[in-house]
Structure 1
């Protein structure tokens, strides 16, 4: 059983083989990453982005949990990604959650220092490979203050906007769009998008309950993917005509990353 789970995890994390069709490559953290079935209901938005794409578009999800721009570089993950880029690829770059972490200091970056430098490096490397970089602000946390969703990524999101403007990089404002979606749903309904469960809600995975304002469940992942796709479709990139965003109004619960 352990060997089977290890194999499944390896397959989920492995890059897809070279394909002549259009590809979307994701560089990110746990909020976009792939997860095996035993981790359900936790899912990353990268797992269901395919549901908003033509069937011929391949998603290569290289997101890894716990990574910041700094550790993604230090662990060699960025070099591995660049090595397999193909001309014409679209690369979605979303970091910030772990760059803002001051408890696990090895992840932390200054939003106006190393974080800025790293984002500019990512853009330059992708362009050198004749691929298209797209900067993505980190998906909003489930945090509320005075009846309003609270922005948890201010300086990091601001840096992404600045770098995108400076370098003329397409931008997906997932943070801003998710904050808008949370406000529209309100605190109670939007809570159902995250790993927020009482002990009786999800006995199999969280017998003691869980209160996680960062990581998203299946519905959160589907909403996040639909928001990303909506922005991609409007960017007038070569990939944009292959994007057909799923509805952001309501997300089905299918028990895994299958498409409706």
Structure 2
């Protein structure tokens, strides 16, 4: 069943309000005594078994080994911010979340293309705000990457969670033998969503930049060896590197302090 996107009346980025039930005294006790669970929402670059080709894995498979709290990997291959929303997957995670939990949201690899030209069900409407498109396949109203991420973050914070908006991992930046490190537009869109929310419970981690620094350090041959089949999905070794880069960015407050900073196992492995 498709999860319905809010109506056009609520298109303004700040218009959708999700109200959480008031906390009880027992909830307040739990906030003190219960360790948070960290949920990870993303695509195949994060998902267990990666591209399901027997040779790749996602960094969400390794992140739990680097944290002092429980990590739940909810990433699904082939998903974009739009399709993860439409399929009700953000809502399913929100249904699990308790006050004090942490949710990491990272998309971008499958969000390109155009919903108005042979729509694949994943492409977001181009733009960084309230732009909309009409799918040429389904006739649905399609929103921007920023819009879907904002709504997802609001679902989680309404449950008392904190949210980390993480930029997508890069493709193989040494694929041609010459360094090419320019980020996709979705890296900037993730920061745009964080800034538009203007909520202290929502922070940003530039995972793309952390992995890029690591790739520059590793060099051409080492990085190419991490991509067995294509320029997007890494080997298990590459996925572990990506998890370590994420943790280093969090621990060293690359983009400021996040709610995950206190739950990193130390000493960390420095990869960039």
CA distance in 1, matches of 2:234, 2:214: 14
Change (3 A) 1:20 1:34: farther
CA distance in 2, matches of 1:81, 1:216: 26
- Out of 123, 128, 141, the residue aligned to residue 108 of structure 1 is 123
Post-superposition offset of 1:238: 4.3
CA distance in 1, matches of 2:37, 2:216: 33
Post-superposition offset of 1:105: 2.8
CA distance in 2, matches of 1:237, 1:179: 20
CA distances 1:84-114 after superposition (whole Å, capped 9, x unpaired): 1111111000011000245863211124241
Change (3 A) 1:83 1:157: same
- Out of 152, 159, 170, the residue aligned to residue 129 of structure 1 is 159
Post-superposition offset of 1:146: 7.8
CA RMSD of aligned residues (A): 2.4
Change (3 A) 1:67 1:238: closer
1:184 pairs with 2:206: no
Post-superposition offset of 1:227: 1.4
Post-superposition offset of 1:123: 1.5
Post-superposition offset of 1:236: 3.5
- Out of 66, 78, 89, the residue aligned to residue 90 of structure 2 is 78
1:29 pairs with 2:43: yes
* Aligned residue in 2 for 1:221: 239
The list of structure 1 runs, each at least 4 consecutive aligned residues, that deviate by more than 4 angstroms after superposition, is: 101-104
Post-superposition offset of 1:70: 0.8
Aligned length: 213
- Out of 224, 228, 232, the residue aligned to residue 250 of structure 2 is 232
CA distances 1:24-56 after superposition (whole Å, capped 9, x unpaired): 1001000111129x85431111111012112xx
* Aligned residue in 2 for 1:202: none
Secondary structure at 1:215 match in 2: coil
* Aligned residue in 2 for 1:6: none
Determine which structure has more spread, i.e. the larger CA radius of gyration: 2
Post-superposition offset of 1:20: 4.2
CA distance in 2, matches of 1:50, 1:119: 23
Output the TM-score relative to the length of structure 2.
0.71
CA distance in 1, matches of 2:111, 2:262: 33
CA distance in 1, matches of 2:127, 2:93: 23
